[in-house]
Amino acid sequence: MRKYQTSNLFEQDIEETPCRYVIRVAFESAADTEFDYAVPDQIWPVDVGQRVEAPFGRNNKLHIGFCVDIDKSRPDPSAPLRSAQDDNKRYKLKKITKIIDKEPLVDAELMELARWISNYYVCPLGQVLAAIVPSAVKRGAGVKTQTYAYLTIKAADIDKTIHELRGKKQKLIVSFLQEQKALNKDSAIELQGLLKTADCGKEPVKRLTEKRIVKISQKTILKSLPAIPNEMALKPPERIVLNRDQQKTLDSIKEKIDSGRFGVTLLYGVTDSGKTELYIRAIKAVLKKGKSAIVLLPEIALTAQTVQRFSERFEKIAVMHSGLTAAQRNVQWQKIKSSQADVVIGARSAVFAPLANLGLIVVDEEHESSYKQDTAPRYHGRDVAIKRAQLADAHCILGSATPSLETLANCQSKKHFNLLRLPQRVMNLPMPEMKLVDMRQSNITQKGINLISEPLAERLKVTLERKEQAILLLNRRGYSNFVFCPSCRYTLRCRNCDVTLTFHRSNIPRRDRMSTITGRHMHSGYAICHYCLAQTLVPEKCPLCGKGFAMIGLGSQRLEEELAKKFPTARVSRIDSDSMAGKDYYRMLRDFGQGRIDILAGTQMLAKGLHFPNVTLVGIISADTCLYLPDFRANERTFQLISQVAGRTGRSTKKGIVFVQTFLPEQQAIAYALKGDFDGFIKEELKHRKSCNLPPYWRLAAVTMRDMNFEKLEAACKQMRQKIDRIVAREKLKVNIRGPMPAAINRIQRFHRMQIIIQAPEAATIQRLFTGLRAEPPVRPAVKVVIDIDPVNLL
């Protein structure tokens, strides 16, 4: 067993010990490179994936980083031991001071995945590794360290030793340990308990260790496993016999699993078509082969119900989501790491679960944009899942009722992608009634608009009287704005596309409004076509009637106020995923499930939580809010939202009704969704994406830069653009570059934000561009730069 010593101890020792080994370390906090360090022989060996402590930077402050590589060329095993001084002269390397982990936290496969993420998503390796291992694990949350004493002498010598010892307490301690050894084969006794039984202080033990009769060691033990909160109890499952579609699909998936080769299956089936049942069966097939599986779900879908459904079917299961305490998370992770779990169910980051021998990854609701992480590393959970499956020669199942265009396109163009369909709902539940409300008919004033239309308010009243419950969905972001003339109802539209333009409130100070980029006066601000990315200036007055425009903002706070005014006695709660911690959120869902809340208002993510039998009314406050976001995926999202709600309600005997409020009733996404015509929608949408060089045909990357000083920001952006242009010319890359231009939200807090958007026909082209950019010195003047590859929105 290796001994771990404190860094203080080492500082003396290191000067004398030779340092024949060299490792490469990636720090979380440091720049986009890794650093070489010498390892004193005394603490060797170090493994890739272990964390080490090392002096870093000019002041040699001790930092913790991951060992990411070992220089195999040194030392030469046949070479004589050199002295540390020789080594230092030769390598001039700083030295590791400590090894933190007993075992690597990241195995070879995950290390390879981390490197891929670092390359693909343009993120320093140290930051990727930091994200791969939960902080609860690194902190050792819920872990107790216990100190043990044990005998180091041979059994035959014990009696003699006891006889020779002079101290009474020393004799006593050795005999206790001997008894323990007779009972347990292992003499180790927990130190505090031992001292108590022997009724003495530490002194006698210390003596014994000096005489090398007793040794002290530390063991870390996890606190007893805290149970996962079990919120909504479910009945035990009845025996399910697969229907024909399901059986055919399962056979096909099993065949892939049996092949032992990497492949991806898109399981495209409406809600309640029995996809989850198939995931479970596929996992069973994988476990039978002695392999393990990961199931990824969007955070919101990880309700106790879902967790329980899997727990009922698998014995060794671990759960990872934000509703767990740090200690629980660590326990779950350790359980996985020590192979006590072979099925992991969790949110996005569970894709990094340290499972060995992975056979299957399931990504449910694969189209969900919440799989994209919006802080560095900005990875997409689905795409990382596919990569991990590839590295492990595992199979990957992507499930959705409304698959992403990316995945559909992959099924057409890539041979290891395979599309399977489940066209029918298992139990033929009735679809809920869908009601379209044309919001243009409602009262609009210069101040804004009522978020709850007359018909919806009417129905809410009835629902409350019947003691039933309602869910109101509002778009996640509160700042979606669009320009609307209250008197003549004119809206600004794109000259290229038949869509309403999004207004970007101009918070740039007046003196800055004469943009150095466009050289034009910005009037009241920019409007951007989220669809083709064209921008226009917004006139101050309506061109038709000459009156002032109204800016319509739809925020969740406004909704809450309106509800309080109209339904003062109703119990209303708001779930706001931006501001809410996981635990609160689970609690609120539970309260709602138990009838302590009448109206639950929240983001569209709630659409996935609609398993509540007493919910008979769902209102989509504005089906088109996402249509006003500067986001070319807006149509896709709108379609997904409406069909999701349609699929989720009507799960009980009480008939459900859905109100879809919209300003754009003629919008194709809305019309297709109300008809439930996904294929029709996809056909239209793909045509458009192709003509605009947008994903899934072309790839995107967004470089967003921010600073408090607008001039400085513009200068840095210009320099960034020049750098990009130089690399593009040098490497002869085929790309479209737009910008720098103000980002959709052009000011956050006091930071101005600008964007450069890169479009390329191949992911590899974008990779080459950023590899080039990473090799260059940073832009001057220095401003904050965020690089987002395959962005899910362009805010």
Q: Which amino acid is at 361?
A: I
Among ligand ADP, Zn ion, none, what does residue 593 contact (CB within 5–8 Å per kind)?
A: none
Residue 662 interacts with, from Zn ion, ligand ADP, none (CB under 5-8 Å by kind): none
Stretch that binds ligand ADP, among 165-173, 220-228, 239-247, 587-595 (CB under 6 A): 239-247
Q: Residue 493 Cβ, how far from Zn ion at the closest point, in Å? A: 9
Closest approach, Cβ 427 to ligand ADP, in A, equals 6
Which residue matches tokens 């006794």?
189
Question: Is 444 among the residues that bind Zn ion (CB under 5 A)?
Answer: no
C-alpha span between 763 and 367 (Å, rounded): 19
Which residues in 408-467 contact ligand ADP (CB under 6 A)? 426-427
Q: Which of 9, 62, 240, 581 binds ligand ADP (CB under 6 A)?
A: 240
Partner from Zn ion, ligand ADP, none binding residue 274, C-beta < 5-8 Å depending on class: ligand ADP
CA dist 414 and 780 (Å) reads 42
- Tell me: does residue 652 bind ligand ADP (CB under 6 A): no
Shortest CA distance to 209 belongs to which of 147, 132, 260?
A: 147
In whole angstroms, give the CA distance from residue 24 to residue 91.
13
Stretch that binds Zn ion, among 110-118, 168-176, 521-529, 737-745 (CB under 5 A): 521-529
Distance CA 364, CA 265 (A): 12
What does 496 interact with, of Zn ion, ligand ADP, none (CB < 5 to 8 A by kind)? Zn ion
- The only residue of 275, 387, 395, 504 in contact with ligand ADP, by rule CB under 6 A: 275
CA 485, CA 84: separation in Å to the nearest integer? Answer: 78
**Piece in contact with ligand ADP (CB under 6 A), picked from 142-150, 266-274, 295-303, 612-620:** 266-274
Is residue 501 at the binding interface for Zn ion, with CB under 5 A as the rule? Answer: no
Q: Quick one: what does residue 337 bind among Zn ion, ligand ADP, none, with the CB cut-off 5 to 8 Å set by partner type?
A: none
The helix (H) or strand (E) run that includes residue 307 is helix 304-311
Which CB, 237 or 680, lies closer to ligand ADP? 237
Query: Judged by CB under 5 A, does residue 629 bind Zn ion?
Result: no
Site string for Zn ion, 445-464 (x = CB under 5 A): --------------------
Residue 277 binds ligand ADP (CB under 6 A): yes
Tokens 């109100």 belong to residue: 659
Please give the Cα distance from 464 to 472 (Å, whole number): 13
Q: Of the ranges 265-273, 382-390, 538-546, 628-636, which one interacts with ligand ADP (CB under 6 A)?
A: 265-273
Interior/surface letters 766-783, b for 16+ CB within 10 angstroms, e for the rest: bbbbbebbeeeebbeeeb
> Could you tell me if 369 and 637 are in contact, meaning their C-beta atoms sit under 8 angstroms apart?
yes
Phi, psi of 331 (to 5 degrees): -60, -45
> Which of these ranges, 112-120, 209-217, 534-542, 683-691, lies near Zn ion under the rule CB under 5 A?
534-542
Q: Minimal distance in Å, beta carbon 595 to ligand ADP?
A: 22
Answer yes or no whether residue 694 interacts with Zn ion by CB under 5 A.
no
**Amino acid letter at 393?**
D
Choosing from 52, 125, 177, 532, the residue that interacts with Zn ion (CB under 5 A) is 532
Asked if 242 touches ligand ADP (CB under 6 A), the answer is yes
Among 494, 658, 702, 717, binds Zn ion (CB under 5 A): 494
In this structure, what token pair is assigned to residue 627?
């249509």
Residue 243 binds to ligand ADP (criterion: CB under 6 A) = yes
Cβ proximity to ligand ADP: between 249 and 755 the closer is 249
* Phi and psi at residue 458, to the nearest 5°: -55, -50
Let me know: does 618 contact 649? Beta carbons within 8 Å. yes
From the CB of 420, what's the least distance to ligand ADP, in Å?
A: 12
User: For residue 87, what is the enclosing H or E element?
Assistant: helix 84-91
Name residues whose C-beta falls within 8 Å of residue 378's C-beta, 6 or more positions apart in sequence: 121, 123, 372, 786, 787, 788, 789, 791
Residues near ligand ADP (CB under 6 A), total:
15
Q: Which is nearer to ligand ADP, 275 or 387 (CB)?
A: 275
Among the listed residues 496, 516, 691, 736, the single contact to Zn ion using CB under 5 A: 496
Q: Does 497 bind Zn ion (CB under 5 A)?
A: yes
| Stretch touching ligand ADP by CB under 6 A, among 56-64, 241-249, 258-266, 732-740 | 241-249
- Interaction of residue 529 with Zn ion, rule CB under 5 A: yes
253: contact with ligand ADP by CB under 6 A: no
Question: Angle at the Cα of 549 (from 548 to 553), degrees rounded to 5?
Answer: 140
Binding mask 666-685 for ligand ADP (x = CB under 6 A): --------------------
74 Cα distance to chain centroid: 39
C-beta closer to ligand ADP: residue 242 or 497: 242
Query: Which of these ranges, 84-92, 234-242, 680-688, 755-763, lies near ligand ADP under the rule CB under 6 A?
Result: 234-242
Nearer to ligand ADP, 221 or 241 (CB): 241
Kindly indicate which of the ranges 275-283, 554-562, 719-727, 762-770 contains the residues binding ligand ADP, using the contact rule CB under 6 A.
275-283
- SS3 state of residue 38: strand
User: How far is it, in rounded angstroms, from Cα 505 to Cα 526?
Assistant: 7
**Beta strands, E only, 2-86:** 21-27, 35-39, 51-56, 61-70
- Is residue 246 near ligand ADP by the rule CB under 6 A? yes
List 187, 249, 276, 643, residue binding ligand ADP (CB under 6 A): 276
Q: How far is the CB of 498 from Zn ion (least distance, A)?
A: 8
From CA 376, how far away is CA 787, in angstroms rounded? 9
CA torsion 538-543-547-551 (nearest 10°) is: -30
Minimum CB separation of residue 519 from ligand ADP in Å reads 54
The sign of the CA dihedral 268, 274, 278, 280 is positive
Query: Nearest approach, Cβ of 503 to Zn ion (angstroms)?
Result: 14
Asked if 649 touches ligand ADP (CB under 6 A), the answer is: no
245 binds ligand ADP (CB under 6 A): no
Burial of 149 per CB tally in 10 Å (0-12, 13-18, 19+): buried
Residue 665: asked if its preceding bond is cis (omega within 30°), the reply is no
Nearer Cβ to ligand ADP, position 2 or 244?
A: 244
Does residue 577 interact with ligand ADP by CB under 6 A?
no
Q: In angstroms, what is the minimal distance from the CB of 237 to ligand ADP?
A: 6
- Per-residue contact string for residues 513-552; x = within reach of ligand ADP by CB under 6 A: ----------------------------------------
Binding partner of 610, given ligand ADP, Zn ion, none, CB within 5-8 angstroms per partner class: none
Residues 752, 692: contact at Cβ < 8 Å?
A: no
**Residue 636: exposed, middle, or buried by beta-carbon count in 10 A (0-12, 13-18, 19+)?**
buried
Q: Pick between residue 268 and residue 484 the one whose CB is nearest to ligand ADP.
A: 268
> At a CB cut-off of 8 Å and minimum separation 6, what does 540 contact?
523, 524, 548, 549
Enumerate residues 6+ apart whose C-beta is below 8 A from 29.
63, 126
Cβ-Cβ contacts under 8 Å for 6 (sequence gap 6 or more): 98
- Is residue 19 a contact partner of residue 39, using CB atoms and an 8 Å limit? yes
Nearest to 422 by CA among 589, 199, 248: 248
Among 178, 187, 265, 273, binds ligand ADP (CB under 6 A): 273
- 368 part of the interface to ligand ADP, by CB under 6 A: no
Cβ nearer to ligand ADP, comparing 34 with 272: 272
The contact set with Zn ion (CB under 5 A) reads 494, 496-497, 529, 531-532, 534
Residues that bind ligand ADP (CB under 6 A): 240-243, 246, 269, 271-277, 426-427
